């Protein structure tokens, strides 16, 4: 199966570079990374042309808007599996491999989407947030 990872971002260079390292550390690397950036500066574009990654990267600059950016990313890829990651995630090393297994074992083609568990590594001490976080399922 061919895998594309799409990351949409806006003005979050530091977060994005950490996520990029997480994608590059996968046991099953993507066949391509599509970056759809709506940042005010071209810092990310310059960075991506200078860094060596174990997969091809295609960079696009668009107007702001997550839906617009995701749709642009979808139009640019021709993969069997498309992964959308936020620009601030830290993936388990086997994330892509495990999701690929789920689809490979879906002989009846009944599965349309798969998600993973999200763990918040940082919880602000603000009591309003703590109350909100504690009420989530």
pLDDT at residue number 46: 97
Question: What is the CATH classification number for the domain harbouring 51?
Answer: 3.90.550.10
Q: Residue 81: give the domain boundaries.
A: 3-134
pLDDT, tens digit, 9 for 90 and up, residues 74-111: 999 989 999 999 999 999 999 999 999 999 999 999 99
Beta sheet of 81-85, edge-to-edge order: 57-61, 32-37, 3-9, 81-85
4-28 pLDDT, tens digit per residue, is 999 999 999 999 999 999 999 999 9
- Domain tally for the chain? 1
Residue 59: per-residue pLDDT: 98
pLDDT band at 119 (very low <50, low <70, confident <90, very high): confident
Cα-based torsion angle of the residue sequence 111, 113, 118, 124 in order, rounded to the nearest 10 degrees: -150
């Amino acid at each position: 199966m061919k895998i594309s990872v799409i990351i949409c971002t806006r003005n979050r260079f530091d977060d994005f570079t950490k996520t990029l390292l997480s994608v590059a550390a996968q046991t099953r690397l993507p066949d391509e990374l599509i970056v759809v950036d709506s940042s005010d500066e071209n810092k990310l574009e310059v960075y991506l042309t200078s860094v060596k990654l174990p997969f091809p990267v295609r960079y696009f600059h668009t107007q702001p808007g997550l839906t617009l950016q995701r749709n642009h990313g979808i139009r640019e890829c021709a993969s069997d599996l498309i992964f959308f990651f936020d620009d601030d995630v830290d993936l388990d090393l086997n994330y892509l491999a495990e999701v690929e297994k789920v689809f490979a074992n879906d002989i009846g083609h009944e599965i349309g989407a798969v998600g993973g568990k999200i763990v918040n590594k940082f919880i602000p001490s603000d009591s309003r947030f703590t109350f909100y976080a504690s009420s989530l399922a």
